[in-house]
Copies of this chain bind each other. A is one copy, B any other.
Amino acid sequence: MSQSTAPLSTDPRPDLDADDVPPRIDAPDVAVLEELLLGRWAEDRRASRKLAGQERFHKIEGMSRDDHRERVLGQLFDLVAEGAVHRAFPEEFGGRDNHGGNIAAFEELVTADPSLQIKSGVQWGLFGSAVLHLGTEEHHRRFLPGILDLSVPGAFAMTEIGHGSDVASLGTTATYDPEAEEFVVHTPFEAATKRYLGNAALHGRDAVVFAQLITRGVNHGVHAFYVHLRDDRGEPLPGITVGDDGQKGGLNGIDNGRLAFDRIRIPRTHLLDRYGAVAVDGTYSSPIESPGRRFFTMIGTLVQGRVSLTGAAVAASKVGLYGAITYGNQRRQFNASSPIEEEVLMDYQLHQRRLLPRLATTVALNFAHEELLAKFDDVFSGADDSDENRQELETLAAALKPTATHHALDVLQECREACGGAGYISENRFTSLYADLDIYVTFEGDNNVLLQLVAKRLLQDYAAEFKDADFGVLSRYVASQAQSTVMHRFGLRRALQSVQDTGDERRSANWFKQADVQRELLAERVRQSVADVAGELRSAAKLPQAEQARVFNRHQAELIDAARAHADLLVWEAFDDGLSKVEHEGTRETLTRLRDLYALTRIEDSLDWYLLHGRISVQRARTLSPYINRLLERLRPHAQDLVEAFGYTQDEHVRMEVSSGAEARRQDEASEYHRKLRASSEGPVDEKVLQRRAAKQRRGARR
């Protein structure tokens, strides 16, 4: 460690170092930082971490699928016994109407076993939540107690083999029969088979089934129905075919499976009819007139899954980084700078490059997730459940869930590789967490589909800006867009930059580390990307629909890029807001530099865009990577403090051999052995040393 904080006088490039990078960063206060990262629902997180730290909840690597499924079911009963699952439910059912705290607590279970987190999510977050949010009081009274105490494990039967993300196109039908006052639930073709449902293969007694509601010859779109699946002995009821999805890439503690219905009949009252009811005579009614809006309101409860996956992904990233950075601070390899002692891995620039930007992004996502959770709580608690806030919540979740879940895979893979072969052994959990979290990127809304939702929202917002503009304004705007290959709104700013660069290259880093420069760069990328695509789409507005779709398709990749850039900006804003509250100086300074690292590595990743759009001059851009490298050197001494501040403990939550201290003990033992050998006269001499001596003697003899 001492090397990276050595005095700067030995730096071979002092001209770039002197006044633009702090020579050292004050240490953060770990306790202060931990509290900050725990956020508003610290108490719920702590309580859940305490549970998750208990051995009975821990995943046992290599356990058979059958045993793992039973173990996780048992853990769910333990959670019930601990009173850990009621937070989000109404007080009359033993709950606390604590929506944010509930999600926070569930997220923390991921450190024990992601199967536990997800199976809990299926039972209480999806199945229970659907009854709570889509059902009425009568449904609550009938169904919630059994769901809450787990006497009725259930499935959330939405996805079909033929349709995942496109819920509106589901094939399952529920046709009302007024004679019998029953719905006939049916799987009309194989593609409509419900699939990948947790609790379906084995444990699910009941299910909430999503199907096209048909009454009096009209299809009112997808609605939710409460369906009994199995009898008391666990056998599927007549007309219900159950299948087991078998082995999966991960999450094998969950019994995912499939369901098909052969015209089974359920009572009329099993329609969860808060947003759409069918009277005895078959008359349909709904408080929401527009079928489209009704549909989106009903599937709006899905947002809570996205929120909790975001938080769980951040938690898993922290566990991975704790393991790899702790190991990187102990593991020695090769001896570049000293013939005796090898370097610690974290001293290598490449290792810093691999781990520290990912650490910065993880901290950034911690803050961003906290904002998402607060918005979620506002909406679900009713504090602010306006349509606008609901939409904002959905867009924010659609931006952050893909960002955080893909980030977690990236972090876990890099951490596993950074630990070499040890990273591959299951006792180090990287591969296990990766395998379990892999599915997070495509379930509860495929990441790419979610990013397209974000992109569409960005286009809508962009269009709304010009809603009241007359045609002249619009056409002028479009015209200026069309010219953007050579000129754009920021042409002036670019010119100023260039002047500054020519004047003094050293000031470049001072520019990059300004918060408003970072914000502006990240924001401009979103604005301009959206404007560019909007311009293209506008020019196709008069073509036939199929052609418009083609034009849209030809910009799909750009739109996804714009959505990602938007997420980067949101995350940066949250990070910047979050650190502004910190009073302890060292903590704020470390976080500020970590924010810089986050912003600048995001900008570095799309540096071609900034250059192509003239947002950063070539001269300035050339200083970016060297500046980031120096930032890494300055942050590196605090890496261990930062992962300690995540608040996870080695024994309870991390549980990896690489971070247990065993590596340092082995290194010490080996060093001591070599030290003694060198000190004694008995140790063997290296052949290389002998040859060097002989060569010296020969030279001496020749003289």
CB-CB < 8 A to A608: which residues of B? 604, 607-608, 611, 621
Q: Is chain A's interface secondary structure helix, strand, loop, or mixed overall?
A: helix
CB-CB < 8 A to A485: which residues of B? 619, 622
| Interface residue A483 (Cβ < 8 Å from any Cβ of B) | no
Asked whether, in the complex, the Cβ of A553 is within 8 Å of the Cβ of B348, the reply is yes
Asked whether, in the complex, the Cβ of A417 is within 8 Å of the Cβ of B442, the reply is yes
Q: A582-624: which have CB < 8 Å to B?
A: 604, 607-608, 611-612, 614, 618-619, 621-622
Q: A522-560: which have CB < 8 Å to B?
A: 536, 539-540, 543, 545-547, 549-557, 560
| A 331-351 to B, binary, CB cutoff 8 A, 1 in contact else 0 | 001101110001000011110
In the complex with contacts A161-B666, A421-B442, A551-B12, A686-B219 CB distance below 8 A: yes
Cβ-defined partner of A421 (8 Å) among B409, B427, B439: B439
| Interface residue A191 (Cβ < 8 Å from any Cβ of B) | yes
Which of A159, A214, A350, A432 has most B Cβ within 10 Å? A350
CB-CB < 8 A to A164: which residues of B? 333, 420-421
Asked whether, in the complex, the Cβ of B557 is within 8 Å of the Cβ of A350, the reply is yes
| A 617-640 to B, binary, CB cutoff 8 A, 1 in contact else 0 | 011011001000100000000000
Asked whether, in the complex, the Cβ of B246 is within 8 Å of the Cβ of A426, the reply is yes
CB-CB < 8 A to A545: which residues of B? 337
Asked whether, in the complex, the Cβ of A669 is within 8 Å of the Cβ of B426, the reply is no
A448 to B338, CA, bound (A): 21
CB-CB < 8 A to A342: which residues of B? 166, 169
Measured CB to CB, the closest approach of chain B to A67, in angstroms, equals: 10
| A 414-425 to B, binary, CB cutoff 8 A, 1 in contact else 0 | 001100111111
Q: A665-693: which have CB < 8 Å to B?
A: 665-667, 669-670, 673, 684-688, 690-691
| Interface residue A151 (Cβ < 8 Å from any Cβ of B) | no
| Interface residue A189 (Cβ < 8 Å from any Cβ of B) | yes
Cβ-defined partner of A688 (8 Å) among B10, B163, B291, B336: B291
Measured CB to CB, the closest approach of chain B to A126, in angstroms, equals: 15
| Interface residue A572 (Cβ < 8 Å from any Cβ of B) | no
Which of A189, A249, A417, A546 has most B Cβ within 10 Å? A249
Segment from A18-26, A57-65, A111-119, A267-275 that makes contact with B? A57-65
| Interface residue A575 (Cβ < 8 Å from any Cβ of B) | no
Please, which residue of chain B has its CB at the minimum distance from the CB of A545? B337
In the complex with contacts A421-B196, A611-B618, A292-B688 CB distance below 8 A: yes
Could you pull out 24 A-B pairs where Cβ atoms are within 8 angstroms? A12-B543, A12-B547, A161-B422, A165-B420, A169-B342, A189-B666, A191-B666, A192-B670, A196-B424, A218-B690, A219-B684, A221-B687, A221-B688, A247-B425, A247-B426, A249-B431, A290-B691, A291-B687, A292-B688, A336-B552, A337-B545, A337-B550, A554-B629, A608-B611
Pick the 6 closest A-B CB pairs, nearest first: A249-B431, A62-B247, A607-B608, A337-B549, A247-B426, A336-B549
Binding site for B on A (CB under 8 A): 3, 10, 12, 61-62, 64-65, 159, 161-166, 169, 171, 175, 188-192, 195-196, 212, 214, 217-221, 245-250, 252, 284, 290-292, 333-334, 336-338, 342, 347-350, 353, 409, 413, 416-417, 420-427, 430-432, 434-435, 438-439, 441-443, 446-448, 485, 536, 539-540, 543, 545-547, 549-557, 560, 604, 607-608, 611-612, 614, 618-619, 621-622, 625, 629, 665-667, 669-670, 673, 684-688, 690-691
